[in-house]
Amino acid sequence: MDEEFWLKRWEKNDIGFHKVEPHRYLLRLFDSLHVRPGDPCFVPLCGKSQDLVWLRARDLRVVGIELSRMAVEAFVSENKLHGTWQTRSGMPCYLAAGFKLFCGNFFELTAAHLSGVRAAYDRGALVAMPPEMRVHYALHLAGLLPSGSRVLLVSYAYDQIETYGPPFSVPVDEIKVLFEEHFQVDLLETEDSLWSHQGLAARGVTQLSEFAVLLNRR
C-alpha cells in the first residue's frame, strides 16, 4: 500500500474504515494507558477518527499523523477546529487547541516530532499495512517512544485466505513476534466481532475476532 493508494481512497471518499463512534475498546481500556490530563497521546495513521475527539475530551493533547491532507482538512472542518497550518521539525502540521496533527508519512516521523509522548493508541494503523511493512512499523514505533511508554493497539484476526487486506489479519501471535523485542505485549480483551466489520463480511470473511493488546515499551 503506497501513499498513492491511500490518497486516492480519500479522494474517492472510499473510507469504509471510518467509524462515526469512538471504538468501544478505547472507551473500555483507556485507563490502561495510565495517562493524566494534559499528557500527549500519539495516534498513528489517524484519519479523521472520532477516537481523536474522544481522547481530546479526556483532556489529552492529541498528536496525530495522517498522510492525506484531505483527511486532516475534513477532521478540522467536521469538528469545527480553529487552528493554523504550520511546520514542525520539517513536517506540515495542523495546530489547534489540544490537537497537533502532522500531515505526512509515519515513517518520516522522528522522536523530535513526538517530544514528551509516552502513550499511543493504534486503531487501523498496523492492520492497514501489508506484512513486510508491519515489521518496519513495529521498529519505527519502538524508535519513536521512550522506555515506559504504553500503546493500546486494536487488531483482528480472520482467515486471510478469505480475502486480502487492507485491513489485514494481524493475529496476537504475529503481534508478539513484531513487538516483543522492544515491548512487553499483553492481551487485554478479545471478542468475536464480524458484526462490526460488515465490509469484510461482504468480501467473504466468515469469522473475525477483534482484540486489544497493551504494548509496554521496555
Ligand X SMILES: C[S@@+](CC[C@H](N)C(=O)[O-])C[C@H]1O[C@@H](n2cnc3c(N)ncnc32)[C@H](O)[C@@H]1O
Q: Integer distance in angstroms from the first to the last C-alpha of the chain?
A: 30
For 215, the 3-state DSSP assignment is: strand
Helix extents (H) in 16-102: 24-29, 50-57, 69-78
Nearer to ligand X, 38 or 105 (CB): 105
List contacts with ligand X (CB under 6 A): 6, 17-18, 45-47, 49, 65-68, 71, 105-107, 123-125, 128
Nearer to ligand X, 107 or 218 (CB): 107
Query: Could you tell me which of 144, 124, 141 has the C-alpha nearest to residue 185?
Result: 141
Please state the closest distance from residue 130 (CB atom) to ligand X, in A: 11
Grid cell in block for residue 45: 495513521
Please state the closest distance from residue 201 (CB atom) to ligand X, in A: 17
Nearer to ligand X, 20 or 161 (CB): 20
Q: How far apart are CA 207 and CA 209, in angstroms?
A: 7
Q: How far apart are CA 45 and CA 35, in angstroms?
A: 20
Please state the closest distance from residue 157 (CB atom) to ligand X, in A: 16
Please state the closest distance from residue 3 (CB atom) to ligand X, in A: 7
Question: Alpha carbon of 205 to those of 48, 156, 189: distances in Å?
Answer: 26, 12, 21
Nearer to ligand X, 107 or 164 (CB): 107
Please state the closest distance from residue 45 (CB atom) to ligand X, in A: 3
Q: How far apart are CA 102 and CA 88, in angstroms?
A: 8
Please state the closest distance from residue 75 (CB atom) to ligand X, in A: 10
Please state the closest distance from residue 161 (CB atom) to ligand X, in A: 21
Query: Could you tell me which of 24, 71, 69 has the C-alpha nearest to residue 49?
Result: 71
Which burial class, exposed, middle or buried, applies to 211 when counting CB atoms under 10 A from its CB (0-12, 13-18, 19+)? Answer: buried
Nearer to ligand X, 40 or 124 (CB): 124
Nearer to ligand X, 168 or 183 (CB): 168
Q: How far apart are CA 179 and CA 189, in angstroms?
A: 18
Nearer to ligand X, 17 or 85 (CB): 17
